[in-house]
Amino acid sequence: MKKSLTIIGVICIFLSGCNSPSSKKGALSHDQLMSGAYRTEKNGWIFVHLQGSPEAIGYQHGYLLADEILDLKNTMSVMDEKSYGKPWSFFRDESFKLFWHKIPQEYKQEIEGIVRGASATLGDNKIDRKDILAINSDMELPDYYIPWLNGIKDPKPDGHCSAIAATGSWTKDGKIVLAHNNWTSYAIGERWNIIIDLVPEKGNRIVMDAMPGLINSGDDFYINSEGIIVTETTITQFCGFDTSGVAEFVRSRQAIQYSSSIDEWTQTMLTGNNGGYANDWLIGDNKTGEIARFEMGLKNHTLEKTKDGYFVGANYPVKTKLTVEETTFDTTLANSSPNARKLRWEQLTKEYKGKIDVEAAKKFMGDHYDAYNKKEKPSGLTLCGHIDEDPAGIPCWDRPPFSPGGAVQGKATDGDLASGMKLWAIIGHPCGEPFIAKDFLALHPEFSYQKDFLRDMPGEKWTVFGKDFKE
C-alpha cells in the first residue's frame, strides 16, 4: 500500500510539474504568445502594445521590434567602443556578471522572451541574453561602473535631460504638469523612438517611452495606472558605484510597475541602490496632486514634496551635501550647461507662474534662450540642447565642440491626460528643427565614424499617444 501511494505521489508531482505555469508557457505557440499585441507608427514614433505574462510580454517586444533591437545593438557597440575603449563583449560579460543573478525571475523571463521573439524574426545567434542585458545597462555601466573600475576620481558621465514638474498655484488648472526632454548623442537618441503600452499580468499598467530592447524607459518618462507620473534628470560629474547593488533598470521598472504612491516608488528605488544612473527624479501622484523631487546618489538621498510648487531639473545636483561628497560639479561655473539651464528654468517658472500647462511645457522643452549669453540661439546651454551647433561643446561631460548630440525627443503630460494614461511626444528636437546627418558630417568629418548609423532628424510634430493607441 505504501509503495502504491508513493508511486501515485510521484505521478501527481510529475503531472503538476507538466501543468505548472512555466511548463505551460514553454508550450505556448507564436500565436498564443502574440495574443493582443500590436505595433503601429506615427510621426517618427513606434508604438507597441504588450500584454500578458512576463514571457509573453518579452516575446511580443522582441518579435515586434527585432530589427530595431539589432540596429541598436550594432550602434551601441560602435559608440561604446569609441567612447570608452571597450568592445561590446566587455559590456555583455560585465552586465551579466554584475546583474543577472540579482534580477527578479519575472524580468529574467521577460528578457529571455525578448531574445526568443527577436530570434523568431531574425533567426538564431543575432541577439542573445547578454546583448539584451548590455542594452538595458548601457545607462549605468559606461558612465558609472567603468570609472569606478578604473579608479577615476573625476568621472564625467554624460548629462541627460531638462525637466519640470509643477502643481497647485503654479499651473493653469491647479493640476500636475510634467515634461521632459532627453539629451543624448544623436546616434543613440534617434533610436529612442518607442512608446510602450505595457499591461503585465501583475502590477500596474504602464505607458512609457523607451529604446528597443529596454524593459524600462531608460531616459525616463512613465505614467502608471495608479496615477504615478515619473521623469528625471541625471546628476553631472557624479562619482560612485556599488557592485553589490541591483541594476537601476530593474529598480525603476519595479518601482513603476508596483508603486501606487510617491513613498512606495522611492523606497523601491532605494532597495539595492547601486549608484548607477544617479538622478534627480521628479515624481507626481495624480490622485493627490502632489509632486516630489527625489535626489538620489549612492550615499545621499533627499525627498521633497509639495502640493503647491514646482521642481525642475537640468543635470545639476541640488543638495550641498551630495554635491560635495559625491560629485566634482562646480556650482559656480555660470557657463556650464547645467548651471545655464538652471538659470533659464528660474526665469521661465517666474514668468509662467499660474500659467503652466501642457502647451507651455512643450514650449519649455523646445526653448532656445541662452540665459548665460542673453541671446536666442540654440546650443549646449539651452533647454532644447543643440551641442552640434556649439563651438564650446560641453566640457563637464567631455563633449567636444560640435558633438552630434543634444535634445533628441520630448514628452509632456498633465493631470487630465495622465488620468487617461496619455502624453504628448515628439521625436527629434522638441523645437521641431531638423538635423541632416550628411550636411553635418560634411562640416565635421571628425565624427565620420558615425556615418553608418547617424540618421536625419527631419523635424516632427508633437503627437498624443496613450494606452490602446491605434493610428
pLDDT (tens digit, 9 = 90+) per residue, 95-148? 999 999 999 999 999 999 999 999 999 999 999 999 999 999 999 999 999 999
Provide the pLDDT for residue 16: 39
Provide the pLDDT for residue 159: 81
| Contact in structure between 186 and 457 (CB atoms under 8 Å) | yes
Provide the pLDDT for residue 23: 39
State the helix-helix crossing angle for 66-84 and 105-122, rounded to 10 degrees.
110
Q: Average pLDDT of 390-406?
A: 96
| Residues whose CB falls within 8 Å of the CB of residue 87, separated by 6 or more in sequence, listed in order | 77, 81
| Contact in structure between 170 and 400 (CB atoms under 8 Å) | no
pTM: 0.93
Query: The C-alpha cell of 349 is what?
Result: 517658472
Provide the pLDDT for residue 158: 79
Provide the pLDDT for residue 31: 97
Cα R_g (the chain), whole angstroms: 22
Q: Is 23 exposed, middle or buried (0-12, 13-18, 19+ CB in 10 A)?
A: exposed
| Contact in structure between 225 and 199 (CB atoms under 8 Å) | no
Provide the pLDDT for residue 1: 36
**How far from 366 is each of 91, 166, 208, 281, 311, CA to CA, in Å?**
34, 18, 20, 21, 18
Q: Average pLDDT of 172-186?
A: 98
Provide the pLDDT for residue 207: 98
Looking from the CA of 381 toward its CB, the CA atoms found within 13 Å total 20
- CATH architecture of the domain with residue range 161-466: 4-Layer Sandwich (3.60)
Which of 62-101 are b and which e, b meaning 16 or more Cβ less than 10 Å from the residue's Cβ? bbbbbebbbebbebbbebbbeebebebebbbebbeebbee
Lowest mean pLDDT among 151-160, 201-210, 364-373, 448-457: 151-160
Query: The C-alpha cell of 430 is what?
Result: 522638441
pLDDT digits (tens, 9 = 90+) for 250-277: 999 999 999 999 999 999 999 999 999 9
Q: Say whether pLDDT at 52 is over 60.
A: yes
What is the pLDDT of the chain when averaged over all its residues? 94
| Residues whose CB falls within 8 Å of the CB of residue 7, separated by 6 or more in sequence, listed in order | none
Task: List beta partners, residue 208.
Answer: 196, 222
Q: Average pLDDT of 212-220?
A: 97
pLDDT digits (tens, 9 = 90+) for 12-33: 433 333 433 343 445 799 999 9
Q: Say whether pLDDT at 388 is over 60.
A: yes
Provide the pLDDT for residue 11: 36
- What are the domain boundaries of the chain? 161-466
Neighbours of 156 (CB within 10 A): 20
pLDDT level of residue 5 (50, 70, 90 thresholds): very low
Location of C-alpha cell 573625476: 154
Provide the pLDDT for residue 404: 98
Location of C-alpha cell 523601491: 268
Q: Say whether pLDDT at 355 is over 50.
A: yes
Provide the pLDDT for residue 269: 98
Provide the pLDDT for residue 8: 37
CA distance 60 to 62: 6
Lowest mean pLDDT among 156-165, 187-196, 431-440: 156-165
Provide the pLDDT for residue 471: 80
